[in-house]
Structure 1
Amino acid sequence: MALACALGAVAALGQAPWSLWPLSIAAFAGLYGLYIRAATWRRAAWLGLAGGAGYFALALSWIVEPFLIDIARHGWMAPFALLLSAVGFALFWALAQGVARALMPGGVGWMRGAALVWIASLTLCEALRGWLLTGFPWAQPGHALIDTAMLGWSAVGGALPLTALVLGAAVALWHVARGRRLMGAAALAGFAALYAVAPMLDRAPAPAADAPIIRIVQPNVPQEQKWDPAYMGFHYDRQMDLTAAPGTPDLIVWPETALPVLLNRAEETLRDIAAAARGVPMVLGVQRADGARYYNSMILTDGAGRQTALYDKHHLVPFGEYMPLGDLAARFGLRGLAQQYGNGYSAGPGPQMMDLGALGRAVPLICYEGVFARDVAGAPGRADMLLLLTNDAWFGEVSGPYQHLAQARLRSAEQGLPMIRAANTGVSAMIDAAGQITAQISLGEAGYIDAALPPPAPPTPYARTGDWPALLLLALMAIVPAALQRRKNRTLPTA
């Protein structure tokens, strides 16, 4: 169990910011070797739990950061949050390996099919992790390939094939290490061929000479200062100075919850911001009230500071932006970490489209929504770009912000759409339709970039079909080898 846990932790080094994807594949090869030697499905499940716990403990180590913002109130929760998260998400790996071993109980030649069943089961359970109880598809094994040419394959099948490719390469490596060189070498050669072909899948059009210029403002406000009256004026003035800097952008974008007052009381503030912007339209992250309900929102304003479009975040962070069973939790003094009012934010109506006039139509996303492919795909019609506002000050400065950025790149590559990404503390970036960063502001810096907006690509295969083809193929990978093995076992003569 200890070895499985350690291998899981090593496998997590494939995630950003480390991006050691070959080491991650090698660690998954070790985990597969432990799985294949498990005599029972129970043993396989326990190994999955141990490996998953090690993996998520490192990959999601940033999860303690929000609890350290107000350490006097929430600091005691940090170790429990990490432990429960690591073990909770490891349960999906336990389920995957237990089911895979139950489907393939053994028999003559069973290891050939066992590899496919293990790859399919683990990938399908990672898909389940992204859906169950609102979902949390963060740090999937396939995300280790986002910083490689293999990102191009996400345009074909989304994130799930990337996970299957990581696991498939791991199985192949294990076979080579165990002396089964022909089978393993053939599979590794297939992986290398897919890697070589991947750059050909880049269909991002070249930017036009007269492309619109987007100013992305990054104020770099530490979370512990964000709502402190002693600092709010300083940080607001900094945003105004960055907005008023020389240049002639076509749109100026502020990050999540950048407005220091509720939208309901911001009419004069919006006029002042419009004056600083010299009449340039703006997108701003705001908070607004509607009676007793509060929303984490995004607005578009015209050159006079008048609101012309509104989007309310609909995919909220449980325990962060709202408390499940909030009234009951409030009796025990528990509040969402990010909330400022009541029992937290209310959810908006769902994915929408924001009309940016001559710039085109954008899918608005706020923070956490950018990690869900379905939140991007759920918007009505085909957009020209993705528009993401976030406050990654919650994620610390080690791994969380970089993993969040990587998933933003994945969303662009999946859909073939550029992304404007404005982050409070970074990394703010312009991302093209192939998921490549064309301009950025580094983590922990205050500043702005005037970046050309890349054009969209034609709809990708994934944009047309979503996850269904990959899910169907994975289901067949799990069911067919298991059925053939069981049939073989029944027909073998017994002594």
Structure 2
Amino acid sequence: MRQPLLVALLAGATTAFGFAPFDLFPVPFATLGVLFALWRRAATSRGAAWLGFTWGIGCFLAGVSWVYVSLHDVGGMVMPLAVAATLAFCAVLAVFPALAGYLYRRVATRLLAIGGAAQTGPRLNAPAAPVYWDILLLAGVWVLTEWLRGWVLTGFPWLAIGYSQTPPSPLAGYAPIIGVFGISLLVAGVSSWLTFAWRKPLAWIAVAAIFIGGQALRGVEWTQPVGEPVTVSLLQGNIPQSLKWVPGNLPLSMNTYAQLAAEHPAQLVVLPETAIPLLFDQIPRDLLRRFAAAGDVLIGSAVRSPDGGYTNGAIALTPELQMQHYSKVHLVPYGEYVPPGFAWFFGLVNIPMSNFRPGPPNQKPLAAAGQRVMPNICYEDLFGEEILAGLPEATLLINLSNTAWFGDSLAQPQHLQIARMRALETGRPMLRATNTGMTAAIDPHGRVIAVLPPFVADALTVSVRGYAGSTPFSRVGNRAAVLLAALACLPALLAGQRRRRMLR
């Protein structure tokens, strides 16, 4: 068993090359194929689970090791605890591919008589399931467990396989229809078909049709531009996290962003999450007027609640300082709020301004610069279905992030790739204003039209048009992908029931 586990570990680690910044989108097809082949050869469901877990450890250690940077380099957690916390975090994420392996092997062994222990079972004269049903089962259980990872314990669908297929992958064309989890279903399906049915002409025909169809769909205009172009300046102050929250350094943040706003006037000026390390009612009014000297402003800031708490959010201001407010809904556990029983965690790491209150669901877009702007804060754009709350009214999506927490790591390009998927799914431009990078403008087809280098104090000024209309995904969300994944499992389950009746 040791050699298959090593192969699974290496395959999982290699999967990270399929995501940004490497963008080798064919890689996940191969590495998933390796995992699926190992699952098919596993003798038991428990063995398949360990293979899935090991693959997940490799994938997440390689892909989200920036958690260590957040905890140790930025948060000040001592190294042994930061290493242990990072390993524990990756282990929790690896449970989901382990669950996929367990479910697949259990069905394949007990119901379909495919591979593993089923080959030594009694009465094997009963017909096994066709290989195509087995392929569908693999893809279905993979996506169902990946979707669960985006939901259980508030969810963390980072490195969902579908994210690897942003442009130039032909499969990006399916994003406006079935979203990131639907693309994961296609990747898993293609991978299993090429692994187990590569000698069958039908497999190659099906795979070719999927890629040709995706490429054709990339040219479809699901939404339409509306109104006149507006100029937007996205400010990137590049204030290190180690300096931002030192009381004596408050003028550094204030002067940096005031100067950037003055040097890059626009109809809409956007400052990132917690650009000024104060509650919004503590920010001097004259500073806000400087930000809004040329037009409207959108600023990420904490806002005091009437009950004495505070929310993380975005405030839209006119030059007359008329205010609209969006409150962040999906908070970061351990960073923005304390899960029950984990208050001790904040004694191990330095996290300023934590314990936020979540905002109400289904908030409406903010009016700014003639657009209907739907903000999302930090990793809220990781949850595609939640972005839909502001649609179809929103004409423009804007992400405000304080990426200084992640240092110089893979998190920055990975987060940009996630934002590209949201633009594809919704058919809306996505603008990103970040503290240290990657500040960028993305068109409705998921293409980066402009981006600032990370770790520089600068502004990105772009001309954008709002978009109206709805993509199929914006109408149904993840329901389509989850339903397709469940239907993919159905033929195998029905075949298994038929086989069990024949064995009686």
Q: Same fold (TM over 0.5)?
A: yes
Q: Counterpart in 1 of 2:123?
A: none
Q: Counterpart in 2 of 1:235?
A: 253
Q: Counterpart in 2 of 1:219?
A: 237
Alignment of 1:11-26 (within 5 A): 11-26=15-30
Please give the per-residue CA displacement for 1:390-416, whole angstroms capped at 9, x wherever unaligned: 111112223101111111111111111
Does structure 1 retain, via aligned residues, the 8 Å contact 2:44–2:105?
Answer: yes
2:202 and 2:392 map into 1 onto residues whose CA distance is: 45
Please give the per-residue CA displacement for 1:248-281, whole angstroms capped at 9, x wherever unaligned: x211110000123222222xx2323323542421
Q: Counterpart in 2 of 1:139?
A: 159
The answer as to 2:311 corresponding to 1:295 is yes
Q: Counterpart in 2 of 1:453?
A: 464
Please give the per-residue CA displacement for 1:311-359, whole angstroms capped at 9, x wherever unaligned: 221211001112212xx54457537754326xx2121222412332552
**In 2 relative to 1, CA 246–134 (structure 1 residues): closer, same or farther, beyond 3 Å?**
closer
Alignment of 1:45-444 (within 5 A): 45-70=49-74, 72-105=76-109, 106-107=112-113, 108-110=127-129, 111-147=131-167, 148-175=169-196, 180-203=199-222, 205=224, 210-245=228-263, 247=265, 249-266=266-283, 269-275=284-290, 277-290=292-305, 292-304=308-320, 306-325=321-340, 328-330=341-343, 334=347, 338-340=351-353, 344-357=355-368, 359-379=370-390, 382-444=393-455
The answer as to 2:487 corresponding to 1:467 is no
1:339 and 1:354 map into 2 onto residues whose CA distance is: 28
**Secondary structure of 1:451 counterpart:** strand
**Secondary structure of 2:417 counterpart:** helix
Does structure 2 retain, via aligned residues, the 8 Å contact 1:299–1:307?
Answer: no
2:365 and 2:426 map into 1 onto residues whose CA distance is: 17
Does structure 1 retain, via aligned residues, the 8 Å contact 2:77–2:348?
Answer: no
**Secondary structure of 2:446 counterpart:** coil
2:385 and 2:437 map into 1 onto residues whose CA distance is: 24
Please give the per-residue CA displacement for 1:120-174, whole angstroms capped at 9, x wherever unaligned: 0011110111111111111101111013242221100111111112112211331
1:53 and 1:411 map into 2 onto residues whose CA distance is: 26
Does structure 1 retain, via aligned residues, the 8 Å contact 2:268–2:369?
Answer: no
2:368 and 2:295 map into 1 onto residues whose CA distance is: 12
* TM-score, structure 2 as length reference: 0.89
The answer as to 2:23 corresponding to 1:3 is no
**Secondary structure of 2:95 counterpart:** helix
Does structure 2 retain, via aligned residues, the 8 Å contact 1:256–1:424?
Answer: yes
**In 2 relative to 1, CA 46–362 (structure 1 residues): closer, same or farther, beyond 3 Å?**
same
Alpha-carbon RMSD across the aligned residues, in angstroms, is: 2.3
Q: How many residues align?
A: 482
Does structure 2 retain, via aligned residues, the 8 Å contact 1:213–1:250?
Answer: yes
**Secondary structure of 2:347 counterpart:** coil
**In 2 relative to 1, CA 388–71 (structure 1 residues): closer, same or farther, beyond 3 Å?**
closer
* TM-score, structure 1 as length reference: 0.91
**Secondary structure of 1:430 counterpart:** strand
Please give the per-residue CA displacement for 1:49-102, whole angstroms capped at 9, x wherever unaligned: 111111111121111111123464444332122211221111111111211222
**In 2 relative to 1, CA 329–199 (structure 1 residues): closer, same or farther, beyond 3 Å?**
closer
Unaligned runs of 5+ in 2: 114-126
2:478 and 2:185 map into 1 onto residues whose CA distance is: 13
Please give the per-residue CA displacement for 1:4-28, whole angstroms capped at 9, x wherever unaligned: 1111111222111111121221111
Amino acid at match of 1:244: A
**In 2 relative to 1, CA 425–204 (structure 1 residues): closer, same or farther, beyond 3 Å?**
farther
Q: Counterpart in 1 of 2:121?
A: none
**In 2 relative to 1, CA 112–332 (structure 1 residues): closer, same or farther, beyond 3 Å?**
closer
1:392 and 1:284 map into 2 onto residues whose CA distance is: 15
**Secondary structure of 1:180 counterpart:** coil
Residue 240 (structure 1) shift = 0.9
**Secondary structure of 2:335 counterpart:** coil
Q: Counterpart in 2 of 1:487?
A: 498
**In 2 relative to 1, CA 182–356 (structure 1 residues): closer, same or farther, beyond 3 Å?**
same
Does structure 1 retain, via aligned residues, the 8 Å contact 2:233–2:269?
Answer: yes
**In 2 relative to 1, CA 491–372 (structure 1 residues): closer, same or farther, beyond 3 Å?**
same
Does structure 2 retain, via aligned residues, the 8 Å contact 1:69–1:223?
Answer: no
**Secondary structure of 2:303 counterpart:** strand
1:414 and 1:316 map into 2 onto residues whose CA distance is: 22
Does structure 2 retain, via aligned residues, the 8 Å contact 1:207–1:453?
Answer: no
Bigger relative CO (Cα 8 Å, ≥ 6 apart): 2
Amino acid at match of 2:409: V
**Secondary structure of 1:459 counterpart:** coil
Does structure 2 retain, via aligned residues, the 8 Å contact 1:262–1:287?
Answer: yes
2:277 and 2:292 map into 1 onto residues whose CA distance is: 17
Residue 489 (structure 1) shift = 5.1
Residue 374 (structure 1) shift = 2.3
**In 2 relative to 1, CA 72–439 (structure 1 residues): closer, same or farther, beyond 3 Å?**
closer
Amino acid at match of 1:238: T
Residue 181 (structure 1) shift = 4.2
1:395 and 1:273 map into 2 onto residues whose CA distance is: 28
2:487 and 2:159 map into 1 onto residues whose CA distance is: 25
